[in-house]
Structure 1
């Protein structure tokens, strides 16, 4: 009987225990242990509780640690999910600008309403084409337009390589779709110039920044034909600018470096006129122009090569008759003095001289003989009046025909026979000169003072001193050179009014005749030379006319 009561008591206790456990497990809000994602391998147990596994290690000889009253962090309570509140338009706009500034095109695309298929390509291409290295964006004020539309103004600054900061202002337009605010993107969101199919282009232009500048502080004209004389004429820099299309408006331009080239005495317009006057000349040629009062070189256009316009030595032909006439005037002749101008003249017991036109002009005034460039007249008058070496002295002492420091080259030797003297008188035999030397001759007539040509503000210390001409001689030479243009060998060349000059045709043994024309007009004296060009009046004088008419 006692055994039955004991058995019934055990069964009752077991039933109560089973129903109690069932109640705990089945009750709502019950807590269960979550399996650890980082369980330790067998045999590798920590000495203390592992918070990642949610289990407590058991040391040998110690009772198990009882469960805590509240569940550990790795236990999940099953509760209903609560939706997060929807972001407003300001948050969307700010997030979009943040993603744009960080270059996160994927995030930007996700915030755009119906983004175009080439959304990322447009952004990348715009930055690449314009060399944008970075962008910074600053949100502005948000304005709502009803419940589902808004817009936010913003300012941006792009950093353009080679140009620097490029600021702009634009607008983000936003709309709400299905409870979500997004950006309504158009190309002008990137920049206002992209509105209505517009575009922005990066233009590169080569700008001349030479090391040597003209008198005016500007570059020499292109193809100046002066490169042998001055260095650094072709130096350039690249001008970058952003231009809006199709308007052509310049949005950003690179500041050009300050002009720091060395100024010369060359005048830009005079040099340009000289260079262009030689454009269609088939033979090697040169034009040199100097200031009448200072003898500063204002232009040198040279296709001869090797600085021959300054230092080359060529027979000047009849242009040297300016010097011969000066010696004759100093010897007693006047511009009105009657002289013979036959078709030919023979020095006693010597050679014969002829004129190119083959005409016997009879007795004429010295001015007429000069205008017609009568070789016979000047050979005869020099033989009769200048046999005491006065021709060489005139040339050397008053017109620079001697060995001397300076830019120009010219020379005349003592004559050895009457034939040589007669040939010297018309710019042949020992007489040789560079174009610059003959420009100095023309400038001496115009100003009344011979000065050595210079390319500096002041003459160098070793420069030959100025040489005044006799006032009467200089005035007579001006009248005679004016007659050459008015009714003489240069009258058909198209020279502008108030030009005075002298033609020259020099015979040479190694080819065709050299063509010359020297003269002055206003503040400029000049020389034109064409190697093997032919007759001075037909070739060199028209080139001088193109030069002067372009000024």
Structure 2
């Protein structure tokens, strides 16, 4: 028992020693770390602070337990001030980048220009105008530039300015390659090189307010030409008869303004067209003679020696000048007169021209306005267009088909191949014959057919009108007129112009012809005039125009005066 107590005492002694050592160490640490008490207080004399140790009783029968201690509460030491973190080292200052020189800036500008990058281009320009991009777009659009290539030269200059000469080539629609040379100017702005843009950077012609424009000029390139190889005249009124008259091509030019200098041009290629028998001058005169004519009308002109059509101005529609059928009225009296001359009458033969005449047991005929001229020569009756004379003489001299035979056999009034159309039927009654004799009833003709009649009088031979250099293989053969008949008809047609119904129409000297006023039921009469002057024969029809003398003959006068 005593041994156990001894051991317990030894254990307690060891614990006390260890506790003392711990207190010394803790006190030293507390003094070093600080706890919120000043050093002066620690050095001031005073009662020592006591640390209390509690011992647990050890039962006699149990071995002595290990020493256990609980330190007395003490004032917590103040936390040590945080150790400041070492300051982060600042990134190293990069070495300054030298600014680009004018050459690289110019190269970037040219690259952007080639690529069409207007935004990048503007970014390289010092103070670009607000419409910088729009100017470039408009330049290309208005001139129709499809691509551009640029070849810069070497930069030159000194100090704060530089220049880069360059050459370029644009591809322009319809014109091809367009080469130019210019200069790109640069200057230093705020330490950087910038392009000094101006309009002449695009092209030198834009300097000083100059402009460039694309000029497109339509030029005639018709498929059908006149006999001279020229286009038909403007507004020729021949389009129903000839195709391809309005074909055009375009001459293209790039023009510098205000100088007017042409920088680039492309002319439309010449394309050979088909030549016709039309005379450009005659066609122009015919077309202009119809200007201002309010009713549908036509003028046809043929060459007397050949029968070739020299002009056709037609507003009748449906090729009426060649194929239309209209009563020719008193212009047909040229055919009736030819038949009467063949019976033995002459231009000087006296014939009655009363104001009215009634066929035996038949129809009554009147002169225009009921004019009674008494007995006159056949030429005068023709010149005054006496209906009564021709109805009476036809009844007395041309019965038995004489009128139809003359018209059909010698003046083309029959079914036949060719350009013209005209016809006359057999006269069944005296009334039919009297009406046919003055160009009414069954007599129908196109203006071209009546121009053939005038040409036959002028030449003494009837020929079919043709629209080709030579007559077609199936063309009717020419028909000579008796010389006396032809001469008599020429005297009569001359009298009609000099002292007859056409005397006041203003026809130029040397014109011979015949007026006609063809009655049409329910509508105004057709106005006619046929004639010739020199080697040109013609016919004028104004459909429902009224009087031949008052309407058609003045149109013929305008036509002839314009030649």
TM-score bucket of the superposed structures, by smaller chain: 0.7 to 0.9
Q: Which residue of the partner structure matches residue 136 of structure 1?
A: 149
Quote the offset at 1:490 in angstroms: 1.0
- 1:147-546 pair list within 5 angstroms: 149=161, 151-175=163-187, 182-204=194-216, 206-237=218-249, 239-546=251-558
Q: Which residue of the partner structure matches residue 125 of structure 2?
A: 112
Q: Deviations over 1:276-299 (max 9, x none)?
A: 322322222222121222212222
1:93 & 1:128 partners in 2: Cα distance?
Answer: 25
Runs of 4+ in 1 over 6 A off after TM superposition: none
Q: Which residue of the partner structure matches residue 102 of structure 1?
A: 115
Contact kept? 1:296, 1:455, Cα under 8 Å: yes
Contact kept? 2:460, 2:483, Cα under 8 Å: yes
Q: SS where residue 394 of structure 2 aligns?
A: helix
User: Alpha carbons of 1:520 and 1:183: their partners in 2 closer, same or farther (altered >3 Å)?
Assistant: same
Quote the offset at 1:452 in angstroms: 0.7
Q: Deviations over 1:399-452 (max 9, x none)?
A: 111111111111122222333222222112222111110011111112222111
Quote the offset at 1:550 in angstroms: 2.6
Contact kept? 1:287, 1:302, Cα under 8 Å: yes
Query: Which 5+ residue runs of structure 2 have no aligned equivalent?
Result: 1-91
Q: SS where residue 283 of structure 1 aligns?
A: coil
- 1:35-50 pair list within 5 angstroms: none
2:338 & 2:166 partners in 1: Cα distance?
Answer: 83
Contact kept? 2:359, 2:392, Cα under 8 Å: yes
Contact kept? 1:86, 1:179, Cα under 8 Å: no
Q: Which residue of the partner structure matches residue 74 of structure 1?
A: none
Quote the offset at 1:205 in angstroms: 5.1
Count of residue pairs the alignment pairs up: 472
Q: Which residue of the partner structure matches residue 123 of structure 1?
A: 136
Quote the offset at 1:174 in angstroms: 4.1
Quote the offset at 1:188 in angstroms: 1.3
C-alpha RMSD of the superposition:
2.8
Quote the offset at 1:519 in angstroms: 1.0
2:142 & 2:266 partners in 1: Cα distance?
Answer: 17
Q: SS where residue 513 of structure 1 aligns?
A: strand
Q: Which has the larger radius of gyration?
A: 2
Quote the offset at 1:544 in angstroms: 1.4
- What TM-score, normalized to structure 2? 0.76
2:203 & 2:159 partners in 1: Cα distance?
Answer: 27
Quote the offset at 1:183 in angstroms: 3.6
Query: Which 5+ residue runs of structure 1 have no aligned equivalent?
Result: 1-77
- What TM-score, normalized to structure 1? 0.78
Q: Which residue of the partner structure matches residue 548 of structure 1?
A: 560
